[in-house]
Amino acid sequence: MTYVPDRITSKPGHTQDGYGGHELDVPTWPVEPDRYRLVAARACPWANRAIIVRGLLGLEDVLSMGLAGPTHDERSWTFDLDPGGVDPVLGYERLQQAYLARDPGWDKGITVPAIVDVPSGAVVTSDFPSITHDLFFEWRDHHRPDAPDLWPDDCREEMEAVMKRVFTDVNNGVYRCGFSGSQEAYDEAYDVLWSTMDWLEERLTDRRYLMGDRITEADVRLFTTLARFDAVYHNHFKCNRNKLTEMPALWGYARDLFQTPGFGDTIDFDQIKRHYYVVHEDINPTGIVPKGPDPSVWLTAHGRDRL
């Protein structure tokens, strides 16, 4: 596991699958029901992953969740969706307060998702790949009995390779397009993005999910980008070779997941658009939020069950 350098990270509480922490000298928090709070935001694709995995695994009763609003300033995500603008469990107005409780000198990014230790009010980790990984491996004693196997042993190596390409070229690729500082950088990111989108289109033509006939963590990671593609990335990030709706396999696949319990019910297109079009003032200085596209298209028949 590679940890993002500018995110607060920690060692897992225990290692049922031998998965270890990183090399930093940091505290170890044990896995305990009702001790931690997942702070997320429906607007954020990285946080959306954690929301989906928490629900698929049935961890709602052992890991509470707080949701930040879609817009924020440079200081951090805020709990403006809650009464009085205060998270009812943490008592915080800003996620920044949890970071400062862990490190009073923290001057880097304040990101979601984040796992917060409720007794101390301190952030435990904000490393988004490790959060969903740990929810599966470290919290497995608390999964619901029929929870899906999001990390199947028989295809783990291939899945890791697929997720790596999806992250580099698609999840992060749309951001590389949107925040390119030069035409050359944009052109390169654009070409890489669409090369992988075409690869995914071909891969999903004859298989229902990325790894075959079952939903895995790979599908969760791709879905949160696809859900935002036409509403945001196509226009706002200039990823406009074509729309997702114009790619038969990918569009059918995205709708199939959207209509699967635990996926589409985590998506709020209004919050997603408000986040990107309002917060990214350098890209959209007017702050105007587009009215479209029509979200009802996500509920149309996908025909993927034939696979």
Residue 98: CATH number of its domain = 3.40.30.10
Domain that holds residue 94: 36-142
Based on the fold, state whether residues 212 and 123 are members of the same structural domain: no
Least confident of 4-8, 150-154, 208-212, 297-301: 4-8
Residues 244, 251: Cα–Cα separation, whole Å: 6
> Is 286 a member of any domain?
no
User: In the prediction, which pLDDT does 24 show?
Assistant: 33
pLDDT in tens, 167-204: 999 999 999 999 999 999 999 999 999 999 999 999 99
Query: Which CATH number characterizes residue 234's domain?
Result: 1.20.1050.10
Q: CA-to-CA distance for 114 and 128, rounded, in angstroms?
A: 8
Q: Decide if pLDDT at 211 tops 70.
A: yes
Annotated binding site: 77
- Rounded Cα distance between 298 and 77, Å, is 28
Same domain, 157 and 138: no
Domain count along the chain: 2
Question: Residue ranges for the binding site for glutathione?
Answer: 77
Residues 241 and 171 in one domain: yes
How do 114-117 and 122-125 pair as beta strands?
antiparallel
Cα separation, 303 vs 256, whole angstroms: 8
Cα 227 to Cα 211: distance, rounded to the nearest angstrom: 19
Considering the domain architecture, whether residues 133 and 164 belong to the same structural domain is answered as no
Question: What pLDDT score was predicted for residue 18?
Answer: 28
Residue 300 lies in a domain: no
| Active-site residue, selected from the candidate residues 3, 19, 175, 186 | 175
**For residue 264, what are the CA distances in angstroms to 63, 89, 295?**
21, 26, 11
Q: Please state, in angstroms and rounded to a whole number, the distance separating the CA atoms of residues 259 and 263.
A: 7
Overall average pLDDT of the 116-121 stretch: 97
Predicted TM-score (pTM) of this structure: 0.92
Specify the range with the lowest mean pLDDT, choosing from 5-14, 21-30, 223-232.
5-14
Locate all alpha helices (DSSP H) within 58-155, ordered by sequence.
Answer: 96-102, 128-137
Tell which wins on pLDDT, 176 or 10: 176
> Do both 229 and 251 map to the same domain?
yes
Q: Choose among 41, 40, 37: nearest CA to 63.
A: 37
Active-site residue 44, yes or no? yes
Are 99 and 178 part of one and the same domain?
Answer: no
CA pair distance 186, 38, nearest whole angstrom: 34
Q: Is residue 131 part of a domain?
A: yes
pLDDT digits (tens, 9 = 90+) for 222-280: 999 999 999 999 999 999 999 999 999 999 999 999 999 999 999 999 999 999 999 99
Examine the domain organization and report whether 242 and 162 are in the same domain.
yes
Given 36, 44, 177, 277, the catalytic residue: 44
Contacts of 201 (CB under 8 A, 6+ apart): 247, 248, 249, 250
CA angle 13, 148, 115 (to 5 degrees): 35
